[in-house]
Structure 1
Amino acid sequence: MVSWSQMIKNFDKRLDIEDIEEFQLHLTKAVNRKISKLEEEYGTVSEDDMADPRDLDAYKDHLTDVMISTQSAKILGDELSILALYKKVEIKTKKIIESKVPNPKSKNLSYINNVRSILPFELETIDGYSSFNELRLLNNAIKHGGLVSNELSSKYPSWIEGDELKDLDIAYRRLLSGVELYVSTLVERLYSLSEQP
């Protein structure tokens, strides 16, 4: 039988991402459905469908613009997923630090350097830190213009400074398990500190 305190600890170690996953699922389905309809229409529309046959090219251009706009909504959704995941980690970190570290409230825990300064261990020693840090830098890059920052590219060379952030859905999936490990390990370390005599 699991004790109440162990159940709370297990809950604290878990990063709740179901809402992000559901958002991604619905957005992807909606975008794919709309793109599919637009592509079908693009492929089947003919001069016979136009009041003036000369309007066909302009109509196809319009369909292309709508497809591009639809893809932009998907890109925005991918950005929101990165922002939401980081926000969840930030909230979880703040909550657990405030409950397990003496007098943390004097610091703004939205800043990574403040988190580092109050922990009795190095944040970089937490399993999954690299995934968390890349997520943090992606979050910052999205919020500050949507381009790869110098800090992101210097720490993670697969990103090229100044490039537009792309394939954020792939980055989200790639980073997710490491970020979940980071949260779980951070919580475990903070619990072990508070359990020491």
Structure 2
Amino acid sequence: MFKQDNKMMFDFSYQQIIEDDLTCAANQNLNLFEYSIKEAIDKFQKEYNKYCEKESDISDKISEIEIKQSNLDESKDLKYKELQNHKIELYNKQHYYFTETYLINEQLKSLSEMQIINTFKNIEINMKTLIHIAYPKIKTKEFYKWDSLIQFFNSKNIPISKIQGYQEITELKNLNNSIKHNGILNDNLKKIEEFKTDDEFNFVNLINFYERIKDTIKTFLNLLAEEIKKDLFHFNEDRLNKISQDLKQRMEASTIETLILKLKE
């Protein structure tokens, strides 16, 4: 607060600082883990595709051998046995490629699961950071459950469930919980677009889900930050009336007068 021409003026830098901090927190990069594993995922995908192609080529060769064998007498023709030995060699190679593709697929699945878990954890951190900035007296450690976090915003009349992206965040939360606790693709998760036709999690459905919702997360956090700013600094006539009515019920007239003087200081 400062004086100019004998009139009391307000320094609004505090509001600007808080609003800037909220905007900054809402725009924190949530994709660092994605960037860190991208090279590994690209490498695994190339290897996976390579082994799948080899496995397919071997299947074609085995089919060709079987066609040739169908025209030979197994008991009399030596060529049949020669082809059979070659077919066994191909089966062994095919089994090797099959094992490799299975292992790579599981590694890709593991990375995509970690990406889901990391993304939701970052959202929780981000939301708690917004609370810490806007309401520094609130102990964010108490919000170890998602429901308690949502209840806090509701207590501030912030309509969090109506914010764009809330549905996707909820889907992410449910997916995160399932991956962490039992790994089961339950009926509730099967309502999500990417999992409707599947019976279990795999790299493809997990990564497709992540790619669909990742941009929505930033939108949600920015809109949440804007709602927090409104709660802190926007006082329309209706809100002022509610505040004044509440104070009138709890304060004596002399106390109200003192408060008015304090607000003018």
Calculate the TM-score normalised by the size of structure 2.
0.61
Give 2:172's aligned residue.
135
Question: Which amino acid is the alignment partner of residue 128 of structure 1?
Answer: G
Q: Do the aligned partners of 1:128 and 1:178 also contact (CA within 8 Å) in 2?
A: yes
Give 1:147's aligned residue.
184
Return the alpha-carbon distance in structure 1 between the equivalents of residues 177 and 141 of structure 2: 20
Return the alpha-carbon distance in structure 1 between the equivalents of residues 49 and 165 of structure 2: 38
Q: Report the aligned-residue RMSD.
A: 3.1
SS of the residue aligned with 1:135?
Answer: helix
1:6–1:114 CA distance, 2 compared to 1 (3 A): closer
Give 1:170's aligned residue.
208
Give 1:33's aligned residue.
46
**What 5-or-longer segments of structure 1 have no aligned partner?**
47-51
1:35–1:150 CA distance, 2 compared to 1 (3 A): closer
1:161–1:32 CA distance, 2 compared to 1 (3 A): closer
Return the alpha-carbon distance in structure 2 between the equivalents of residues 162 and 184 of structure 1: 33
Return the alpha-carbon distance in structure 2 between the equivalents of residues 110 and 161 of structure 1: 33
1:35–1:11 CA distance, 2 compared to 1 (3 A): same
Quote the sequence identity (%).
Answer: 18
Question: Which amino acid is the alignment partner of residue 78 of structure 1?
Answer: S
Is 1:70 the counterpart of 2:83? The answer is no
SS of the residue aligned with 1:110?
Answer: coil
Return the alpha-carbon distance in structure 1 between the equivalents of residues 21 and 115 of structure 2: 26
Q: Which has the higher contact order (CA 8 A, sep 6+)?
A: 1
Q: Do the aligned partners of 1:35 and 1:67 also contact (CA within 8 Å) in 2?
A: yes
Question: Which amino acid is the alignment partner of residue 141 of structure 1?
Answer: S
CA deviation after TM superposition for structure 1 residue 69, in Å: 0.6
CA deviation after TM superposition for structure 1 residue 150, in Å: 4.4
Q: Do the aligned partners of 1:90 and 1:110 also contact (CA within 8 Å) in 2?
A: no
Give 1:117's aligned residue.
151
Give 2:3's aligned residue.
none
CA deviation after TM superposition for structure 1 residue 24, in Å: 4.3
1:117–1:130 CA distance, 2 compared to 1 (3 A): same
1:118–1:102 CA distance, 2 compared to 1 (3 A): farther
Question: Which amino acid is the alignment partner of residue 38 of structure 1?
Answer: Y
**Number of matched pairs:** 190
Of residues 51, 57, 67, the one that matches 2:91 is: 57
Question: Which amino acid is the alignment partner of residue 163 of structure 1?
Answer: D
Of 25-34 and 134-143, the range deviating more from structure 2: 25-34
Calculate the TM-score normalised by the size of structure 1.
0.79
